[in-house]
Structure 1
Amino acid sequence: MAEPAALPGFETLRAGLAVSLRGVTKVYDSGVAALGPLDLDVRKGEFVSLLGPSGCGKSTALRLIAGLGAPTSGTVGIAQSTSGTRAGHSIGFVFQEPTLMPWATVRENVRLPLKLSHAQPAGANTRVGEALAQVGLTEFAGAYPRELSGGMKMRASLARALVTDPDILLMDEPFAALDEITRFRLNNDLLALWRNLRKTVIFVTHSVFESVYLSQRVIVMTARPGRIGAEFRIDAPEPRDEDFRTSAGYAGYCRKVSNALAPSYSGQS
Structure 2
Amino acid sequence: MAEPALSETDSDAAGFAVRLRAVSKTYDNGVTALGPLDLDVAKGDFVSLLGPSGCGKSTALRLIAGLGAPSAGTVNVSHRATKMDGRHPIGFVFQEPTLMPWASVRDNVRLPLKLAHAAPAEADRRIEEALAQVGLAEFADAYPRELSGGMKMRVSLARALVTDPDILLLDEPFAALDEITRFRLNNDLLALWRKLHKTVIFVTHSVFESVYLSQRVIVLTARPGRIRAEFRIATAEPRGEEFRTSADYAGYCREVSKALTPSYSGQRSA
Report TM bin, short chain: over 0.9
Aligned counterpart, 2:167: 168
Is 1:204 aligned to residue 221 of structure 2? no
Aligned counterpart, 1:189: 188
CA contact (8 A) 1:49 1:211 kept: yes
2:80 and 2:261 map into 1 onto residues whose CA distance is 38
TM-score, length of structure 1 as denominator length: 0.95
Structure 2 counterpart of 1:195, which letter?
A: R
Structure 2 counterpart of 1:167, which letter?
A: D
2:5 and 2:227 map into 1 onto residues whose CA distance is 21
1:249 and 1:256 map into 2 onto residues whose CA distance is 11
CA contact (8 A) 2:48 2:201 kept: yes
Counterparts of residues 40-79 of structure 1 (less than 5 Å): 40-79=39-78
Aligned counterpart, 1:111: 110
Q: Secondary structure at 1:21's aligned position in 2? A: strand
Structure 1 counterpart of 2:137, which letter?
A: T
1:29 and 1:157 map into 2 onto residues whose CA distance is 30
Counterparts of residues 180-259 of structure 1 (less than 5 Å): 180-259=179-258
Structure 1 counterpart of 2:148, which letter?
A: S
Cα offset for 1:80? 3.0
CA contact (8 A) 1:10 1:75 kept: no
Aligned counterpart, 2:89: 90
Q: Structure 1 residue runs of 4+, over 3 Å off?
A: 6-11
CA contact (8 A) 2:110 2:123 kept: yes
Structure 2 counterpart of 1:153, which letter?
A: K
TM-score, length of structure 2 as denominator length: 0.94
Structure 1 counterpart of 2:172, which letter?
A: E
Is 1:177 aligned to residue 176 of structure 2? yes
Number of residue pairs matched by the alignment: 263
1:84 and 1:259 map into 2 onto residues whose CA distance is 47
Which consecutive residues of structure 2, in runs of 5 or more, have no partner in the other structure? none
Aligned counterpart, 1:35: 34
Distance 1:84 1:107, change over 3 A: closer
Q: Secondary structure at 1:224's aligned position in 2? A: coil
1:83 and 1:10 map into 2 onto residues whose CA distance is 14
Aligned counterpart, 1:141: 140
CA contact (8 A) 1:9 1:74 kept: no
Cα offset for 1:268? 7.3
Distance 1:120 1:9, change over 3 A: closer
Q: Secondary structure at 2:231's aligned position in 1? A: strand
Q: Percent of aligned pairs with the same residue?
A: 79
Structure 1 counterpart of 2:180, which letter?
A: I
Cα offset for 1:84? 6.3
Superposed CA RMSD: 1.7
CA contact (8 A) 1:19 1:79 kept: yes
1:121 and 1:88 map into 2 onto residues whose CA distance is 14
